[in-house]
Amino acid sequence: MTFEAVIGLEIHAQLSTASKLFCRASTQGGAPNTQVSPVSLGLPGALPVLNKEAVRLAIMAGLAVKGRIQERSVFARKNYFYPDLPKGYQISQFEYPICLGGEIVLPVSQKTIRITRIHMEEDAGKLNHIGADGIAGATGSVVDLNRAGVPLIEVVSEPDIRTPQEAREYMERVHELFVFIGVCDGDLDKGSFRCDANVSIRPIGETAFGTRTEVKNLNSFRSVERAITYEIKRQIQVVQSGDVVRQYTMNYDDATGQTTPLRSKENAHDYRYFPDPDLKPLVVTSDQIAAIAQKMGELPDDMALRYQRDLALPEHDIMVYRQSPALYRFFEKARSFLQVATPGDMSKWVVGELSALMKEQSVDLNDKLATELARLIDVCKEGTISTQMIKDILPQIINGKTVAQALESGGGQISNQDDLMTVVAAVMADNPDVVAKIKNGKVASANFLMGQVMKQTQGRAKPDTVRDLILHACQNV
């Protein structure tokens, strides 16, 4: 019998707010238990106050996945005990979440994964185990409540995913989208973006779903793919051995790539959800939603379409902008200053040299740099400098020089006519056939000679001077 997998993901994304969901304690972390307040400590009498910015970001996330923002949503208490949860309940949304519906289209297959809902909730604290990496073998555990109350959204997908690769692509796409619109910093290492994978199998052809397990706390794209791959294999073995899959919550160990049962899965009613009496229902008006939509800016898919259609940018450039909103915004700004060159001329340098330099040094992508970069690309287009000179000057304008200053201080460019003429003469002597063509009116052949001059000068010759010299000399041969 052959099986197929059925997979649904629950993604937790931390909203990029300065303060927590229900109090003014900072979300920035620090020494253990320094970013806390009576509310995040769960002290008696402390009352939660909803963070307006978190609501705005959650609405943006909902709009970005094309979900329906709910004008009325309700915070509910999810009751359970764990030492990282001082109140004894987590404030979440249950029956009435902030957003219903939505979808994500996978990049290659164009397959649509439907989204069930997005709800807002607070994060719990963190246990640090002493004497061992995990809880197993630890001699003790200490609690750090800096994360307690940090705002999250949970994005629940329909069970539309069929393979571990699709699950990874889906997670990557949601990540890219949220980082692009600025609702989440996307830092996987810090736990800002993580997911639980619900996995079941069924014989191919079967329409009913099988019993699922839920693999907890997957915090990288790779681990999502690996954990699901392992879990599917494990379930198939269970079924083939004549047993049945049990509804379990599973742990995933990235070191071994294996999933192991953590506990038999709890059901929603076990949590005794009820509306939090300390918080009024959250009401947002359609005008407020429209205002947030209007301010949100362009979504990556729309950007991609526009860049393809209007700017004819290559796929690769578009992919880089999808994944680097800072570079995208900088490019948008810088290209608006171009006067001669095309956006395509500039984009090459932004996704190439500039982004390479950004990996080596910190680069302030400010307006001055945008202006100077446009100037630099224009000057090259005009033929005043070679592309090699762009390479030389770019680091200088990053460090605060203007293009004019860089050119003035020489910057390695050879513009002296006598110096250049020596090279031009040598190149012409080596290529008499080309010289003859130019003489006979085939001016375009000058490009070949220019290329040779550039080669010999390591690109430092001033292109328009070289051209003039060649054409002039050919007339006089």
Interaction of residue 93 with ligand ADP, rule CB under 6 A = no
Interaction of residue 7 with ligand ADP, rule CB under 6 A = yes
**Least separation in angstroms between CB 196 and ligand ADP:** 7
Q: List the interface residues with ligand ADP, window 341-370 (CB under 6 A).
A: none
User: Cβ closer to ligand ADP: 4 or 10?
Assistant: 10
User: Cβ closer to ligand ADP: 198 or 452?
Assistant: 198
User: Cβ closer to ligand ADP: 249 or 415?
Assistant: 249
Name the one range near ligand ADP by CB under 6 A: 44-52, 73-81, 104-112, 157-165: 157-165
Judge contact between 106 and 170, C-beta under 8 A. Answer: yes
**Least separation in angstroms between CB 413 and ligand ADP:** 60
Q: What Å distances lie between residue 366 and 181, 299, 473, CA to CA?
A: 19, 22, 44
User: Cβ closer to ligand ADP: 210 or 300?
Assistant: 210
Listed in sequence order, the residues at least 6 apart from 95 whose beta carbon sits closer than 8 Å to its beta carbon are 74, 76, 273
User: Cβ closer to ligand ADP: 211 or 371?
Assistant: 211
**Least separation in angstroms between CB 147 and ligand ADP:** 21
**Least separation in angstroms between CB 237 and ligand ADP:** 17
Q: Count Cβ atoms below 10 Å from residue 258 Cβ, excluding itself.
A: 15
Q: List the interface residues with ligand ADP, window 137-156 (CB under 6 A).
A: 156
Residue selected from 103, 158, 345, 468 as contacting ligand ADP according to rule CB under 6 A? 158
Please state, in angstroms and rounded to a whole number, the distance separating the CA atoms of residues 467 and 92: 69
Residue selected from 48, 62, 125, 159 as contacting ligand ADP according to rule CB under 6 A? 159
**Least separation in angstroms between CB 56 and ligand ADP:** 25
336 phi/psi in degrees, rounded to 5? -70, -15
Please state, in angstroms and rounded to a whole number, the distance separating the CA atoms of residues 385 and 414: 10
Tell me the per-residue interface mask from 105 to 144 with ligand ADP, x by CB under 6 A, - otherwise: ----------------------------------------
Name the one range near ligand ADP by CB under 6 A: 2-10, 69-77, 94-102, 223-231: 2-10
User: Cβ closer to ligand ADP: 8 or 151?
Assistant: 8
Judge contact between 392 and 411, C-beta under 8 A. Answer: yes
Residue selected from 37, 157, 219, 259 as contacting ligand ADP according to rule CB under 6 A? 157
Please state, in angstroms and rounded to a whole number, the distance separating the CA atoms of residues 264 and 230: 19
**Least separation in angstroms between CB 5 and ligand ADP:** 8
Count, residues in the chain? 477
Size of interface with ligand ADP, in residues (CB under 6 A): 17
Tell me the per-residue interface mask from 215 to 254 with ligand ADP, x by CB under 6 A, - otherwise: ----------------------------------------
User: Cβ closer to ligand ADP: 1 or 130?
Assistant: 1
**Least separation in angstroms between CB 247 and ligand ADP:** 9
**Least separation in angstroms between CB 214 and ligand ADP:** 6
Tell me the per-residue interface mask from 180 to 219 with ligand ADP, x by CB under 6 A, - otherwise: ------------------xxx--------xx-x-x-----
**Least separation in angstroms between CB 148 and ligand ADP:** 21
Residue selected from 31, 130, 244, 268 as contacting ligand ADP according to rule CB under 6 A? 268
Residue in the shown chain whose Cβ atom is closest to ligand ADP: 8
Please state, in angstroms and rounded to a whole number, the distance separating the CA atoms of residues 319 and 110: 16
Judge contact between 302 and 87, C-beta under 8 A. Answer: no
Closest CA to 48 of 276, 283, 284: 276
Q: Which residue ranges make up the site for ligand ADP (CB under 6 A)?
A: 6-10, 156-159, 198-200, 209-210, 212, 214, 268
